[in-house]
Amino acid sequence: MKASPAYRLFRVVALTVVVLSLIAPLLWMIAASFKTNVDIYDTGKALVFSPTLDNYANVLKQSHYAQFIGNSLWVAFAATVLSLILGVPAAYSMSRFSMKKSALVVLMARVIPGVSLLVPWYYVFSNLQMVGGFTVLILSHMFVSLPLIVYIMMGFFDGLPEELEEAALVDGLTHIGAFRRITLPLSVPGIATAGILSFIFSWNNFMFALVLSGANTKTLPVAIFDFVGYASIDWGGLMAAATVVTLPIMVIALFVQKYVVSGLTAGATKG
């Protein structure tokens, strides 16, 4: 059935409002990152201003952001790869052998408040003098990545017909061989989805790094706070820093939109 012209007009108006209210604040942030602090304070120069790159120069040069970008990349990358190595085979077993209880234990991690693990972690790792190092940070981010990956991959393996593996067994492959040569190659889209989601969530994670990172291992979401002083805020620098953190992830999400959406909605519509 064709939508009526009145409904179509309503839809255009309503969705324009939706899109504007979602995008305008982000554009405002990006615009402010190109303004001097004088221009930010001058409400008359909200839209018309002479753009400057000073904030970015400040963020990248004086505030060691290059290092923090590197830290964030390394932690998100390592946590994602390690979680994939642990999570993909586990999800396969849980899906094929319907290990409901084990799956439930892993998925509980999505429910537990992060702080309740941070306290004991902090106890153990500060006694081992590991707080401030990359190892702890990567382990803590795996707490976010691993359950996410197991959850997404379990859904993926559930949808992968078992007959393919059985055919491979008939052809003389072992079970593990069938997993390696048949199942894994067919799972690349699922692994991509899980990996991308895990990377985004690790990149965006703030609380673990707030407690467990040190001056040299700080990740970007923690480094943002360098621009918030007790007395005053360097708004230009803060918005440039916020843009540096969030723009890359938004651009990546644009290119792999399909995977991000399927990862975020994984399991939402099945039994």
Q: Which of residues 81, 181, 191, 192 is near another protein by CB under 8 A?
A: 181
Nearer to another protein, 50 or 172 (CB): 172
For residue 209, the Cα-to-chain-centroid distance in whole angstroms is 14
Stretch that binds another protein, among 49-57, 60-68, 73-81, 251-259 (CB under 8 A): 251-259
Collapsing DSSP to helix, strand or coil, 191 comes out as helix
Nearer to another protein, 53 or 250 (CB): 250
Nearer to another protein, 26 or 64 (CB): 26
Asked if 214 touches another protein (CB under 8 A), the answer is no
Cα 253-247-232 angle, rounded to 5 deg: 145
* Footprint (CB under 8 A) of another protein, residues 118-147: 118-124, 126-127, 139, 142-143, 146
Instruction: For the chain, count helices (H), then strands (E).
Output: 15, 0
Amino acid at position 182, single letter: I
Asked if 191 touches another protein (CB under 8 A), the answer is no
Asked if 257 touches another protein (CB under 8 A), the answer is yes
Distances (CA, A) of 62 to 40, 232, 239: 21, 18, 16
Nearest CA-CA partner of 209 in 232, 197, 191, 225: 225
Nearer to another protein, 32 or 75 (CB): 32
Token pair 């644009």 is at which residue? 254
Q: How many CB atoms lie within 10 A of CB 241?
A: 28
Nearer to another protein, 216 or 257 (CB): 257
* Cα separation, 154 vs 103, whole angstroms: 9
* Footprint (CB under 8 A) of another protein, residues 92-111: 92-94, 96-97, 99, 102, 105-106, 108-111
* Cα separation, 53 vs 170, whole angstroms: 64
Nearer to another protein, 28 or 70 (CB): 28
Nearest CA-CA partner of 237 in 59, 18, 92, 49: 59
* Cα separation, 256 vs 198, whole angstroms: 13
Task: Return the structure tokens found at 9.
Answer: 């007009």
Stretch that binds another protein, among 48-56, 57-65, 73-81, 88-96 (CB under 8 A): 88-96
* Footprint (CB under 8 A) of another protein, residues 28-87: 28-29, 32, 40-41, 43, 46, 86-87
Size of site (CB under 8 A) for another protein: 115
Asked if 207 touches another protein (CB under 8 A), the answer is yes
* Footprint (CB under 8 A) of another protein, residues 5-24: 8, 11, 14-15, 18-19, 21-23
Q: Which of residues 74, 114, 191, 192 is near another protein by CB under 8 A?
A: 114
Output the smallest distance, CB 4 to another protein, in A.
Answer: 10
Asked if 255 touches another protein (CB under 8 A), the answer is no
Task: Return the structure tokens found at 30.
Answer: 């990006």
Asked if 195 touches another protein (CB under 8 A), the answer is no
Query: 236 near 32, Cβ under 8 Å?
Result: yes
